[in-house]
A and B are shown apart, each in its own frame.
Chain A
Amino acid sequence: MNSDIIVVIVVATALAFDFTNGFHDTANVVATSISTRAMPPRVAVTYASALNFVGAFISLEVAATVANDVVQPDLITPLIVFGGLIGAIAWNLVTWYFGLPSSSSHALIGGLIGSAFAANGADAIIGQGVVGKVMIPALVAPILAFAVGGIGILFIYRIVGRQRPGLVNAGFRAGQVISGGLLALAHGTNDAQKTMGVITLALVANGSISGEHFHVPDWVVLSAASAISLGTYVGGWRIIKTMGSRIHKMDTAQGFAAQGSGAAVILASSHVGFPLSTTHTITGAVIGSGAAKRLSAVRWGVAGNIVVAWVLTLPAAATIGALTYGVTRIFGTGALGPVVVSALILAGSALLFSRRAARGPAVTAPETS
């Protein structure tokens, strides 16, 4: 009974993480479309939200990767999963507070690593899985997206550079609706699966489902799809502003090049089962499309802050995950620890939102530009 209560708390926390994942990563899908006025803000997030939901049902390959390749499934308990999720949620909220597009996937994996390490030491971590399936692809993704976005925009300028701007802009805005849709679909396919993988990991740890025959239950797929879709709809407008206009002010062709190349990289990685960071990919493509036009067009200070946040994400989320696990265990192995930590996190989140709301206008509402 006690372990069932813990699993219920873990599932609720996983869905809360999924919500912050959608909320945090809305920018990846809609920032360029909003910036170039291809779609009005609220239409863009509604469109992205619907396609994220659909995308979550398409494949389960990445879900299996998160659960089986990063931490030892047989050493994992629901309390470890809980600690990992809190680490990821906390880091997502911190980076949202500063308007930085960091990777929710890295935060989740980092949180799980820290929590598992605190519980079982280094034996719980599959080093090869972390490096081969997560870190190397995550290094490759932004560089590759930077190159593809940069080369893509050079081709575009070469091909349509002498045409009338009116028709060209209208054409690329229409193209952004298509590429943005594909990106949202790919984001749902990749990111909702990570939550599915974590929930399934907790269910396996609790003995609710067999670890011998790993499968993701239907209710997990449906709830994860709903949570990420709702988070996407709410939208993290501060990060949207950073991605859409603070890195560089993009034109419609750059917006299309960034979205199209980002979608291509994410789909290619998804095809081979890598839990690739959508944030790293799209940010790389956005910077590439700006730098290829003119190096000075990119605000490198903003880009540098984003890279610092990327580097910090894994260790910071791991530290919070480990601390959370430690605090939870002070209350024993029952449900009291997760309940106390959840209450503290909720209070902290409310404080963060209220402080952010007090500092600037309309934290969670679309800008009117």
Chain B
Amino acid sequence: MAPLAEVVSGHDLLQVIWVSLAAGIGVTASYAFAILGGARAVDLTRSGRSGEAVVFGVLCALALAVVAAAVVYGIVIMTTK
């Protein structure tokens, strides 16, 4: 039986681990920020604090852009390998 180091590609496994951690946690956190931004923007607009509402609206848009980029990148990974 070959040593485990010869059987398992450590590089590939490490790649799976770090990409999974970065993508999984990054996307879920970004989407949570998008929801936070959207919810706060709605609440602040209703209470007449439009300046702060814009800031949270921008946060929402940026976070959604990050999520969209991650989804597109995921599809690109599938289509280009």
Could you tell me which A residues sit within 8 Å of B by CB distance?
A: 55, 58-59, 61, 127-128, 131-132, 136-137, 140, 144-145, 147-149, 151-153, 155-156, 159-160, 163-164, 167-168, 171-172, 175, 178-179, 182, 185-186, 189, 253, 256-257, 260-261, 263-265, 267-274
**CB atoms of A265 and B20 under 8 A apart:** yes
Residue B65 interfacial (CB < 8 Å): no
Counting from the closest, the 6 A-B pairs by CB-CB distance are: A148-B24, A261-B24, A152-B28, A264-B24, A264-B23, A171-B35
Name the residue of chain B whose CB is nearest to the CB of A128. Answer: B7
Name the residue of chain B whose CB is nearest to the CB of A270. Answer: B78
Among the interface residues A58, A172, A264, A274, which one has the most CB atoms of the partner chain B within 10 A?
A: A264
**CB atoms of A257 and B28 under 8 A apart:** yes
Could you tell me which B residues sit within 8 Å of A by CB distance?
A: 1-2, 4, 6-9, 12-13, 15-17, 19-21, 23-25, 27-29, 31-36, 38-40, 42-43, 67, 71, 74-75, 77-79, 81
Contacts between the two chains (Cβ within 8 Å), count: 144
A257 to B29, CA, bound (A): 9
Contact residues in B for A159 (Cβ distance below 8 Å): 29, 32-33, 35-36
A319 to B21, CA, bound (A): 36
A55 to B78, CA, bound (A): 8
If A61-B81, A185-B75, A185-B78 touch, does A268 touch B35 (CB 8 Å cutoff)? Answer: no
Contact residues in B for A163 (Cβ distance below 8 Å): 35-36, 39-40
Chain A min CB distance to B36 (Å): 5
Chain B min CB distance to A50 (Å): 15
**CB atoms of A155 and B32 under 8 A apart:** yes
Contact residues in B for A185 (Cβ distance below 8 Å): 75, 78
If A144-B17, A144-B20, A163-B35 touch, does A131 touch B74 (CB 8 Å cutoff)? Answer: no
Q: Is the interface of A mostly helix, strand, loop or mixed?
A: helix
Contact residues in A for B1 (Cβ distance below 8 Å): 127
**CB atoms of B16 and A137 under 8 A apart:** yes
Q: Is the interface of B mostly helix, strand, loop or mixed?
A: helix
If A127-B1, A128-B2 touch, does A156 touch B32 (CB 8 Å cutoff)? Answer: yes
A101 to B38, CA, bound (A): 36
Contact residues in B for A269 (Cβ distance below 8 Å): 16, 20
Contact residues in A for B34 (Cβ distance below 8 Å): 171
Contact residues in B for A179 (Cβ distance below 8 Å): 27
**CB atoms of B78 and A267 under 8 A apart:** yes
**CB atoms of A256 and B38 under 8 A apart:** no
**CB atoms of B21 and A148 under 8 A apart:** yes
**CB atoms of B36 and A160 under 8 A apart:** yes
A267 to B24, CA, bound (A): 10
A163 to B40, CA, bound (A): 8
**What 14 new A-B contacts, CB under 8 Å, besides A171-B38, A268-B19?**
A128-B7, A148-B24, A152-B25, A159-B32, A159-B35, A160-B35, A167-B39, A171-B31, A171-B35, A182-B75, A263-B74, A267-B78, A270-B77, A272-B16
Contact residues in B for A137 (Cβ distance below 8 Å): 13, 16
Among the interface residues A58, A61, A268, A269, which one has the most CB atoms of the partner chain B within 10 A?
A: A268
**CB atoms of A152 and B29 under 8 A apart:** yes
